[in-house]
Amino acid sequence: MKIDKIDVAIIGAGFAGLSAGIHAAQAGVKAVVFESEDKLNGDCCAGGLPDFGLARMGFSADSDFVVNKVNRIELVLSNSVVALDLKHISGLIIDKTMLTVRLASLCEKADVPVLLGSKVTGYNHESGLITVEDELGENNFQADVIIDASGCDTKMARDAGLVKRLDKKDVCLCAQYLIKQPSIDKNIMKMWCSQELAPAGYIWSFPTGKGQSRVGMGVCDHKTNPKKIIEDFIADEFPDAELLKYVGATIPLAPPMENIVFDKVMLVGDRANQVFALTGAGNMLAYDCGAIAGKVAGRYLNDKLPNLLQYEKECKKRFYRKLLNSYNIKEKIRLGGNDAVEDLYRKVRPLFLLHRLFPRWVERSAWKHARYS
Ligand SMILES: Cc1cc2nc3c(=O)[nH]c(=O)nc-3n(C[C@H](O)[C@H](O)[C@H](O)COP(=O)(O)OP(=O)(O)OC[C@H]3O[C@@H](n4cnc5c(N)ncnc54)[C@H](O)[C@@H]3O)c2cc1C
């Protein structure tokens, strides 16, 4: 049997996999992205992205896939509403499917094919053998490097014995509707943090403009059915809303992994728990970690590195502590409920007060902190 050779096999055409493809090509190596779905899709996301994130991807905040910019954030706590009016920065809401398609076309331009309808069914981390199923049947490839960017708690790395299944309490079940209600204020991004509403999680409304908003929730309490709760919530909070589209998915709200390199395999993005567990934000981390993985693959294949461990080292240096802090706060809230949310708010309250006096300084400092590099 003939086995085709590939320099870098990338599993998954999300932000992590596509970023890895773009950066591997820039580093001068041949990569292929395998995507199990027949279409590129970013619908399963609220679409929040910081402007510095877009800049790092090489796009401006005025790109056509930026569908809205919000300048007020409201947090609904159990007994109060806290508002933050942004004066010098905006929260961006994107059409993630459009941006995913854009990243895929950057891959194609760099000679990195993105093969849709190609599902990886397994791999061997020592030999680099990888099996892919498409409409024509099963194919085996021999890869020098495998980048597994296949999303939350997927089974290939588990089947290969590299990682264990995530603990249930660390998997967030999400349900989100795109709704239409003309009275929705397009400038306000709102989060309901009451733990009676969303146990070990929160409800969000990210307006996309034109009277529409993505209203969703994530819960880590597996006794709760998030779809039912979000439907009831929308009926109460947005009584005239038309439900346009439903999506359901999971996010890993787990501690950062100690090991993300196993011989020829690097785990990236949601597959490596590279998500801020307190908020569930993972878009930018997926892109940034994909970039590191792609560059490291290039340097390794060009004999500038003895192995792939540089990827793990760099991620640890840049993200590990922040991811762990975020996870610890999420755990406090999961165990402590509303009291823990109020306690957290008490700790950050001075910043809200300071913001009234020095908005530019506070916003710049917060953004600098969020940039994590
Ligand atoms: C409802 C919801 C709302 C969210 N909102 C936000 C937000 O507003 N801001 C933010 O920063 N983050 C948000 N996130 C988190 C963010 O979407 C993820 O962290 C991010 O998409 C992770 O990117 P990824 O490339 O690692 O994984 P994914 O985006 O999950 O991509 C993985 C890809 O791999 C493919 N795949 C899976 N198995 C295989 C296989 N066997 N073979 C080939 N391909 C395979 C999948 O089809 C998929 O295309 C949200 C998540 C959810 C669920």
- Kindly report, residue by residue over 72-103, the tens digit of the pLDDT: 999 999 889 999 999 888 889 999 999 999 99
User: What is the model's pLDDT at position 50?
Assistant: 84
Residue whose CB lies within 8 A of the most ligand 1 atoms, among 270, 288, 326, 372, for a mutation test: 270
- CB-based contact 41:98 (threshold 8 Å): no
**CA 183 / ligand 1 centre spacing (Å):** 30
- By DSSP bridging, strand 48-49 and strand 129-134 are unpaired
**CA 268 / ligand 1 centre spacing (Å):** 11
Q: Tell which atom from ligand 1 comes closest to the C-alpha of 271.
A: 26
Structure tokens belonging to residue 281:
């934000």
User: What is the model's pLDDT at position 1?
Assistant: 57
Handedness of CA 115, 119, 123, 129 (dihedral sign): negative
Structure tokens belonging to residue 109:
């331009």
- CB-based contact 78:342 (threshold 8 Å): yes
Residue whose CB lies within 8 A of the most ligand 1 atoms, among 33, 35, 217, for a mutation test: 35
Cα→Cα distances 175→92, 93, 204, 248, 330, Å: 21, 18, 11, 5, 19
Topology adopted by domain 3-43+95-165+254-344: FAD/NAD(P)-binding domain (3.50.50)
**CA 319 / ligand 1 centre spacing (Å):** 19
Among 271, 326, 220, CA closest to 14: 271
- CB-based contact 101:109 (threshold 8 Å): no
Among 317, 350, 327, CA closest to 279: 327
Torsions phi, psi for 245 (to 5 deg): -155, 140
Q: Tell which atom from ligand 1 comes closest to the C-alpha of 48.
A: 8
pLDDT, averaged across the chain: 95
- CB-based contact 242:180 (threshold 8 Å): yes
User: What is the model's pLDDT at position 40?
Assistant: 98
- CB-based contact 219:201 (threshold 8 Å): yes
- Asked if residue 20 has pLDDT above 70, the reply is yes
Neighbours of 354 (CB within 10 A): 13
Structure tokens belonging to residue 210:
């034109």
Mean pLDDT throughout 3-10? 93
- CB-based contact 145:300 (threshold 8 Å): yes
How far apart CA 223 and CA 186 sit, in angstroms, is 33
User: What is the model's pLDDT at position 204?
Assistant: 97
The domain segmentation of the chain, as residue ranges, is 3-43+95-165+254-344
User: What is the model's pLDDT at position 373?
Assistant: 58
For residue 336, what pLDDT band results from cuts at 50, 70 and 90? very high
User: What is the model's pLDDT at position 2?
Assistant: 65
